[in-house]
Amino acid sequence: MIFLLYFGLNFQILPEKFLPDCYLQKAELLNEKHSLFSRYLYHSSAQKIYVNRKNPYHSIFSGTLQIYLLFAVFVLTLTSEISPQRNYFYTNKQYGSEALFNPVSFIFNGGYDVTQLQLVSNRIQDHNYREMWHTVISNLGHPLKSIQVYGWGRFLRTEFLPVSFTKNNMQWIPNYQQHLIGGGMMYTAMAEWYREQGAPWPKTFSFITVMTQHLLNEVIETGPAEGYSVDEVSDIYIFDLGGILLFSFDPINEFFADNLNLSDWSLQASVTFPNGRVNAGQYFSIKWEFPFWGDHALFYRYGMGALFGISEKLNKEEWLSYGIGFKTKHLVDLETEFKQRTIETGWHAGIFWDRNNSLLASLVVSGVKEYFIMADVYPGILKFGNFSPGIWSIAGRDGTFLFGLTTKYLIGAGAEFR
């Protein structure tokens, strides 16, 4: 994957919108004074600049990016194939949300997670993947320059340091929740999945799978018309790789698995026919058991929104959790020069039944019209002989109704009615 990224970056076409004025001025000076630089600028209807990798100002595969890719190799080396003490997040349960966990469903749920937003199409065929991929790779090609033009102080306040608590400056929250903690946990879980299947080099395959999901997520979230952005820089280079490195240590996995009961409660990944609408979303749950209140725990579910509540222990294996909070409706652009966004939200509430941290069923209602009522029953509850499918449905206030079936082998299939 790293070598593929290398060649893709070395020979990319960089849209002019990604280049600040200082870059263009330097380029013009170079063209006038140094004819040996093989840079060819033309203005077509697409307004694009073809960049030769010999030009130090415009090579997308910059020296900075080489350092970051070397860091990725370093992370992969540190997470070498050393057998862990035990499985922390995936134990090959044949029921609940864990029964649906596999590389395909994981990439699908995480990659298309942002399609739950109102202003992002949730139909697979609507996305211009080629242009969106170019946009993401172009932004990843100049990480330090992106931060410099954006402003180091603002970058640290909004993306990295948990010191800003105003609505427009809290991009660091999903960075820590979804990318660092969630992404790191999924790296461990995916390595455990590959190990359970008897695959060689489970951590290497997990690294490739997790980074593929992260890149797809950035592609779908970005859009083809975006300009310079530090979002991909902080997500991929800092928090995604940082999460993999953090969760490569057994004490970290043990803390989140045993003390916080961190679990993957993603949706039942499916595609509806004939319109190609996706049912996808990556969600995580935490249950911290009260030391002073037996059989009860503090409940937190997060993903595209957040729910806060209480979990009640039903028996030795099963819990019932209740939560209320907010669901993200759509992203709001704060600037045009850079991709800085905040969120608009609606109310959100749900009830969840799990067994050994594997979600069995849930009922969620929200103020988002497309997701007014969401009901999920995971495999292991309904049984037809040896066959136990998962069933999901979504009812919207706009009159739409979606219904689908899932199995542990492939992503599910559904239908849309109005």
* Helices 202-222, 183-196: crossing angle, 10 deg rounding: 140
φ, ψ (nearest 5 deg) of residue 346: -130, 170
Question: Would the pTM count as exceeding 0.85?
Answer: no
* 291: Cβ contacts below 8 Å, ≥ 6 apart: none
The answer, yes or no, to whether residue 343 has pLDDT greater than 90, is no
> How many angstroms separate the CA atoms of 270 and 255, rounded?
32
Residue showing tokens 């020296």: 63
The answer, yes or no, to whether residue 398 has pLDDT greater than 60, is yes
H-helix segments, 180-327: 183-196, 202-222, 231-232, 241-246, 250-254
At 6, which amino acid appears? Y
Length of the chain: 418
Mean pLDDT of 402-408: 93
C-alpha pair distances (Å), 395 with each of 14, 19, 304, 365, 368? 42, 45, 18, 10, 11
> How many angstroms separate the CA atoms of 178 and 303, rounded?
7
The answer, yes or no, to whether residue 4 has pLDDT greater than 90, is no
Asked if 362 contacts 376 with a C-beta cutoff of 8 angstroms, the reply is yes
> How many angstroms separate the CA atoms of 141 and 189, rounded?
30
Q: DSSP states of 312-362 as a string? A: EE-SSSEEEEEEEEEEEEEEEE--SSB--EEEEEEEEEEEEEEETTEEEEE
Of 204, 185, 184, nearest in space to 194 by CA: 204
The answer, yes or no, to whether residue 38 has pLDDT greater than 50, is no
Residue showing tokens 């599910």: 412
The answer, yes or no, to whether residue 50 has pLDDT greater than 50, is no
Residue showing tokens 């100049």: 142
More confident residue, 40 or 344: 344
Q: Which residues is 323 bridged to in the sheet?
A: 309, 350
Reduced to 3 states (helix: H, G, I; strand: E, B; else coil), residue 177 is helix
> How many angstroms separate the CA atoms of 88 and 106, rounded?
17
Asked if 379 contacts 100 with a C-beta cutoff of 8 angstroms, the reply is yes
Across 10-24, 194-208, 307-321, the highest mean pLDDT is recorded for 307-321
Asked if 321 contacts 364 with a C-beta cutoff of 8 angstroms, the reply is no
Q: 26-40, 176-190, 377-391 — which is least confidently predicted?
A: 26-40
51: number of CA atoms within 13 Å, CB side? Answer: 27
Q: How many CB atoms within 10 Å of residue 227? A: 18
φ, ψ (nearest 5 deg) of residue 293: -140, 95
pLDDT band, residue 342 (cuts 50/70/90): low
pLDDT band, residue 143 (cuts 50/70/90): confident
* 240-263 residue pLDDT tens: 999 999 999 999 999 999 999 999
Q: DSSP states of 3-32 as a string? A: HHHHHHHHTPEEEGGGS-HHHHHHHHHHHH
Reduced to 3 states (helix: H, G, I; strand: E, B; else coil), residue 146 is helix
More confident residue, 43 or 373: 373
pLDDT band, residue 154 (cuts 50/70/90): confident
Q: 69-74 contacts: CB < 8 A, separation 24 or more?
A: 69/2, 69/5, 69/6, 71/237, 71/241, 72/2, 72/211, 72/241, 73/2
